[in-house]
A and B are shown apart, each in its own frame.
Chain A
């Protein structure tokens, strides 16, 4: 049903630190009624040590917004404010054992409220820098404005290039149509037409500048990072072949034939794409056999 971890559910059903902290000396407000997500974070900061003695939240929003707020307050209590500012939205998501991609913005809101509260404590004015564009790529939480700017700044013309620069489109592919629309629009401004068959600019060396061997090693390392998760579910993954941007893997144990295998592959793809900073595709090993058969 809900794609929420146990931890998210637990923090939603019994939120920690709900309500405003009495005698708070730092208040951060983000969101609004109209966007359907709003968070007020209240902190009590010790003026001498700058340690956060107490934290409370009031949230208007969905289940994961409430859980993210609760998690945030738990994470930062007892921290010095400078350290607390280092808490990323990924940290909040990790604390909750992950959030569905569509819900990552909930954790972003937590981080922003914290920045706002600290600014308030220091008597500074806080400016949020997030853009108000429609979310195009849900896998990587990339919005329209971000893609547009990147396309303009770098003169991009293909979806693959957009993926290389922003990650958008490197996951489930659902946003490719949306990215093509942006490209069409921006190219039209320059009097050009979008060509869906165009090949991405110069075939770039991986941005990382790795040699083939280093790249292989890097892929192995990245897989090692995910392995514990799979092993916890009595499965595993094995690297079978790397052919340019195609990376073939084999799912083992419980992961093989699991109904979630496609999702798992998607997750591995995301992790590898991020780690390598490249546009890659992770495919099951059977696909390699199939392709070989077709060429034969």
Chain B
């Protein structure tokens, strides 16, 4: 593969968004020019676009291992898919007033759930342990007739930890509860075969797998009761009204086809680069550690917590060296808290503020990885030099006590 190390630098923020694959761009271009028809129209202009959408639907179906192509609903993004799934389940089963989710979901689910609580719904938030894993016993106990939907992400965007959603969906099915998974980080990185699972709904987002932003999918198992979020025309069989984003749908189809082909490479080569990255950094930098479940993690995600320094400061220096990453730290989001994921995992405060996420894609190269490994130690050293919690080559003794503001 070509590497992302162009003039733009080294891109290691693929869990935020991915570059659009050149083949994908090529595939979508005609839909801005000659293929401009409205797929709902009966004439030949529309018909051609309509057929392209059909092909894309098949491509998505294949990647997800869905039984029918009619189970694929195109939406505008992962957030819309999540909202549609959860709100539909509540509307379709008005006497069920509870939701089960986790404390580490993406804001697309968490913020919605918090809002629903205000409207009178009861939301159960499953906690995670220090590796970001769920307690299945606790989950099992919560399943009841009162629960309208379980919504649990497949893979966590920050720690990379995978949840056993297939097993959880099976338990939900036995209890007669609908199961939704936000799989935006998992699709394209892990083999998925929905027809062999009990998952009723799944969200995916195009821009996480080398398609453009602004396109998503809600998988809806045939026969599951449904209420649309957007009502209007008969697009997507009335399940999501609004003229289709044809060019992006075509692009997503192509991206899914490419993801299918690259699956093996993701699992082996991308993972090998990620492992080398972690090992290289841990060897050269002291007082840092990898977060997440070491045995059950996305192959492309590496989240390292550096003690006694702050994440945004690390990112600024990385960026200066042409390396793009992201941080689960407070300051980037404008809040004073470290990320809700790091907090839920009980990462100590000494490190939670200094966590940095490096997320790879198949467009990265081993050469880039080596450069990042070389860049990290001086950056960390430079910031620790400024930190009141660090002196010489180690943390000050009992940092919480040594630095004691008079009002604390």
Partner-B contacts on A (CB < 8 A)? 1-2, 9, 12-13, 15, 18-19, 29-40, 57-66, 100, 102-103, 105, 116, 119-120, 125-128, 135, 138
- Report Cα–Cα, A2/B335, bound state, in Å: 16
**Are the C-beta atoms of B336 and A36 separated by less than 8 Å?**
yes
Given contacts A34-B349, A62-B329, contact A12 B316 (CB under 8 A): yes
**Are the C-beta atoms of B349 and A33 separated by less than 8 Å?**
yes
**Are the C-beta atoms of B313 and A66 separated by less than 8 Å?**
yes
Beyond A39-B388, A61-B310, A105-B336, 6 additional contacts (C-beta under 8 Å) are A29-B405, A37-B330, A38-B388, A127-B407, A128-B407, A138-B334
- Report Cα–Cα, A120/B389, bound state, in Å: 20
- Report Cα–Cα, A154/B329, bound state, in Å: 37
Interface flags, B368-408, vs A, CB<8A=1, else 0 = 00000000000000000111110000000001100111111
Question: Is B338 an interface residue when CB atoms closer than 8 A count as contact?
Answer: yes
- Point out the residues of chain B lying under 8 angstroms from A120, CB to CB: 406
Interface residues of B in 297-340 (CB under 8 A from A): 308-313, 316-317, 319-320, 329-332, 334-338
Question: Is B235 an interface residue when CB atoms closer than 8 A count as contact?
Answer: no
**Are the C-beta atoms of A62 and B310 separated by less than 8 Å?**
yes
Q: Which of B311, B334, B385, B386 has the most CB of A within 10 A?
A: B386
Question: Is B38 an interface residue when CB atoms closer than 8 A count as contact?
Answer: no
- Point out the residues of chain B lying under 8 angstroms from A63, CB to CB: 312-313, 316, 331
CB distance from A97 to the nearest CB of B (A): 17
Give the dominant DSSP class at B's interface: loop
**Are the C-beta atoms of A62 and B336 separated by less than 8 Å?**
no
**Are the C-beta atoms of B319 and A1 separated by less than 8 Å?**
yes
**Are the C-beta atoms of B313 and A125 separated by less than 8 Å?**
no
CB distance from A61 to the nearest CB of B (A): 5
A13, A29, A65: the one contacting B310 at CB < 8 Å is: A65
A33, A58, A128: the one contacting B400 at CB < 8 Å is: A33
- Report Cα–Cα, A198/B338, bound state, in Å: 38
- Point out the residues of chain A lying under 8 angstroms from B330, CB to CB: 36-37, 62
- Report Cα–Cα, A9/B316, bound state, in Å: 9
Question: Is B357 an interface residue when CB atoms closer than 8 A count as contact?
Answer: no
Given contacts A29-B404, A35-B336, contact A60 B331 (CB under 8 A): no
User: What are 15 inter-chain pairs, A to B, with CB distance below 8 A?
Assistant: A2-B316, A13-B320, A19-B386, A32-B403, A33-B389, A36-B331, A36-B349, A38-B403, A39-B388, A40-B403, A62-B331, A105-B336, A126-B407, A127-B407, A135-B336
Give the dominant DSSP class at A's interface: mixed
- Point out the residues of chain A lying under 8 angstroms from B313, CB to CB: 12, 61-63, 65-66
A1, A15, A125: the one contacting B386 at CB < 8 Å is: A15
CB distance from A188 to the nearest CB of B (A): 13
CB distance from B49 to the nearest CB of A (A): 31
User: Top 9 A-B pairs ranked by shortest CB distance?
Assistant: A102-B334, A62-B331, A58-B388, A62-B312, A36-B353, A40-B388, A29-B405, A36-B330, A34-B349
Question: Is B350 an interface residue when CB atoms closer than 8 A count as contact?
Answer: yes
- Report Cα–Cα, A61/B319, bound state, in Å: 17
Partner-A contacts on B (CB < 8 A)? 308-313, 316-317, 319-320, 329-332, 334-338, 349-350, 353, 385-389, 399-400, 403-408
CB distance from B104 to the nearest CB of A (A): 19
- Point out the residues of chain A lying under 8 angstroms from B385, CB to CB: 18-19
- Point out the residues of chain A lying under 8 angstroms from B405, CB to CB: 29-32, 38, 116, 128
- Report Cα–Cα, A102/B320, bound state, in Å: 22
- Report Cα–Cα, A218/B399, bound state, in Å: 52
- Report Cα–Cα, A65/B332, bound state, in Å: 12
CB distance from B316 to the nearest CB of A (A): 5
- Report Cα–Cα, A186/B399, bound state, in Å: 40
- Point out the residues of chain A lying under 8 angstroms from B387, CB to CB: 58-60
- Point out the residues of chain A lying under 8 angstroms from B334, CB to CB: 100, 102-103, 138
CB distance from B257 to the nearest CB of A (A): 32
- Point out the residues of chain B lying under 8 angstroms from A29, CB to CB: 388, 403-406
- Point out the residues of chain A lying under 8 angstroms from B335, CB to CB: 135
**Are the C-beta atoms of A61 and B331 separated by less than 8 Å?**
yes
- Point out the residues of chain B lying under 8 angstroms from A35, CB to CB: 336
- Point out the residues of chain A lying under 8 angstroms from B353, CB to CB: 33, 36, 60
- Report Cα–Cα, A254/B224, bound state, in Å: 55
- Point out the residues of chain A lying under 8 angstroms from B309, CB to CB: 60
**Are the C-beta atoms of A59 and B386 separated by less than 8 Å?**
yes
Given contacts A13-B320, A60-B308, contact A116 B388 (CB under 8 A): no
- Report Cα–Cα, A122/B157, bound state, in Å: 50
- Report Cα–Cα, A34/B389, bound state, in Å: 12
CB distance from A72 to the nearest CB of B (A): 14
- Point out the residues of chain A lying under 8 angstroms from B407, CB to CB: 126-128
- Report Cα–Cα, A52/B330, bound state, in Å: 33
CB distance from A5 to the nearest CB of B (A): 13
CB distance from B272 to the nearest CB of A (A): 30
- Report Cα–Cα, A63/B338, bound state, in Å: 15
Q: Which residue of B lies closest to A102 (CB)?
A: B334
- Report Cα–Cα, A35/B343, bound state, in Å: 12
